[in-house]
Structure 1
Amino acid sequence: MNSGRPQERLFRGGGGTYDDSVPLPEPPPWRRPRQDDEPERPRPYLIGDQEVEVVNAALRLRRPLLVTGSPGTGKSSLAHAVAAELGLGPVLVWPVNTRATLTDALYRYDAIGRLREQRDGTDDIGSFVRLGPLGTALATRHEGRPRLLLIDELDKSDLDLPNDLLFVLEEGEFTIPELARLPEEQAEVAVHVQGSQEKVRVRQGTVRCRDFPFVVITSNGEREFPAAFLRRCVRLELPEPGPEQLEGIVRAHFAQDLPQLQAQWPRVRELIRTFTDRRNLGGLATDQLLHAVHLLQQGVHPEAGHLREAVLRELRSGGSR
C-alpha cells in the first residue's frame, strides 16, 4: 500500500525509456487474467437482503432470473457470485447482440470440416458438433449440480429471440437436426461442449437436461420483452448502491489492504461523495469508483480535475458505456 504521496509518472511522454529497475505496479485484482489451471476467482459481491430473497426465489423455482438496472449496478457479476457460492462451476456466458440467434447458443455444426473428413474415408460427425453455452448448460452438470448460464444483455437481441427461447427454457431440451437424421446404428453420438475437453453423448439428436440450469438474464432496459417471456421469469431490479453500501463494496474489494487504506479513509469517503454526486447527474458504474480508489491507493490523485473526468466521467453525458 502506498503512503499516499504523489507517484512518479510511469509514462512521461518525452520519448525516453522506462527504468527497468523500477517494477511496474500491479493492476487491480479484478484486472489480472485468470490462468488456464486457476479456478475462477469470485469477486466480492454485496446486495441488499430483499434482492437476495428474490435470487433465492428464482433458485427455488428454477426459473430464469431477469435482472435489470442501470449499467454498472452488478447485473452480470451477480451470476458469477451465485455460481461461486453454490458451487455451480464456471459460468457459461452467452453475450447477446443484434446478430445473435438461438441456434448459436445451442450448438454449432462444422459441415465443411465434416465434408473434408468424409473425403478422407472417415466420418465421425460428433467431432464436428460443439454445444454452445445454452446447449452446454442443458447437457452438463458440475459435480452433480446444475450449471449456471448468463444470458447477457438480452435487450440487444433481435425482437424474436426472447420468444424463440421460450420452448427451450420451458422444456429443457432441443434437437440437433444433423444428428436426428442419422441411421439407427449411429443413434448415439458424442459431441463437444463449451469450455472444456469433455464430451457428452446425444441420443437420436435430442439434448435433454437432467436438471434445469439456473439462468440469469440481464437487461439494461433498452426495450420491453413480450408478456409470455416475462411471466416465465422471476424479475429483479438492482438499485444503485447508496453511500453505506459503496463503503462496504470498497472494503470487500480492498480487504487485503484495508489496514493501510484505513489511513486514507476520509479521502475514500470524499471519493464516494464525488461518485454519488456525479452518478446522480449522468450515471456512473460502481467499478469506476473502485478504479478511483485503486489509483488513490497507489498515490495517484483521482480527485484532480483531468483525472476525475477520465475515471469518473458520467455514462450519459458524453462518456461511453
Structure 2
Amino acid sequence: MKKRKLILEDGSVYEGYAFGSDNYQVGELVFNTGMSGYQEVLSDLSYCGQIVMMTYPMIGNYGINRDDFESLDPAVFGFVVRECCEMPSNFRSDLTLDEFLKLKNIPGIYGVDTRSITRKLRSSGTMRAIMADEDANVEEVVQMLKETELMHDQVARVSTQKPFPIPARGRKVVLMDFGAKHGIIRELSRRHCDLIVVPYNTSAESILALHPDGVMLSNGPGDPKDMVEAIEAIRELMGKVVVFGICLGHQLISLANGANTVKLKFGHRGCNHPVLNLETGKVEMTSQNHGYAVEMESLKNTDLVMTHQALNDKSVEGVRHAKYPVFSVQYHPEAAPGPEDSNYLFDQFMELMEKENG
C-alpha cells in the first residue's frame, strides 16, 4: 500500500494511504456529513476547487453506477475518507471508488482520522490543503499553501460554454447554468418543461429574447460576489419573468436585491440538515452544499421576505420577493443525494408560471 499525506495550511499533517490518481492540487478542505451519496457528492460541480472529506467512516461500499451522476466531469480536487471499500456489493455497481477516481484523475487518501480533521475544521474553519507523497517536504508544502490564493473562476470552469435545448412540450424554462446538478434538469424534465440551458454569463436581454415562462438559477461553486454579470442579469429579469433560484442561485437573487452574503466558518454540506418552513411551520430535512450564506440582517432594507430558516444555526435558507414572482432556497430541493421533503418547490415554480403566463 502506497502511503500518502494530507497537509493543511496550519501545518497539520495526516498520514494515510493512497488511492485514486496522483493529480495533487491545492484546494479548500471541506467536510460532508452524509452517510451515503458519495457518487453524487463527487460529481456535484459545486465542489469545484475543493478537497472533500466524508465524515461517515465507510465509503465506497456500493461502488459507482451509471445512474447517479450529477455531472459527467467532476471538479473536486481530492477525496478524503476513513475507510475505502475495495470490494463493493451492489447489483448496480460498475466501478469501484478507486477505479472511478483514477478514471477522473482525482487523488484520494484513506486511513486518516476524519473525526479529528472534522473537529479541527469546525473549530478553525475550512482551510487550504493538498495531498502529497510520503517523502514531501512538509515545511515547503505548508509555505506554498499559505501563499496560494484560492480560485475565483470556478463557475466559468464548470458552466456550459454554449446554450443547448432539452426539448419538451410544456412550459419553456431557461436554466442559467452556474454548475447545475443533473437532478435539477431531471425534476424540470419530469414536469415536461421545454428547457434551454444557457451559460452563466448570458445577458437578461438574450434570455428574454427566448420568451421563457420561467428562469431557473442553478447551484454552483465559489463566492457569489464574484458573479457580477449574473447579479446584473437577475436584477433585469425580476418583474419580467418567474425566477426560481437554488443554492448559488439563491445567493445571487439576494445580492441582486441589495442583501449581503457572508462566508460561513465551515459551511453546510450533507443530506441531513433540518430547515423550518416559516410559512407552513413544517420542518424539512434537506440536502445542502454551500460555504456562503445570506446575511439575515441585510434582508431588512430589501423587498425580500425570509421563508425558510436553518434550525442548526438559524441562517437564512429561503426568500421570496414581496412584489415579483421570484423565490429561492439555499438548499437542494432536487436532493441527489438526500431526502425529497422539499420537492414541492418545483411544483410551486410550475404553479407560479401557470399563474403569471396563463
Provide the TM-score with structure 1 as the length reference: 0.27
Quick one: higher RCO (CA 8 Å, sep 6+), 1 or 2? 1
- Higher strand content, 1 or 2: 2
Which has the larger Rg?
1
When normalised by structure 2's length, the TM-score is 0.25
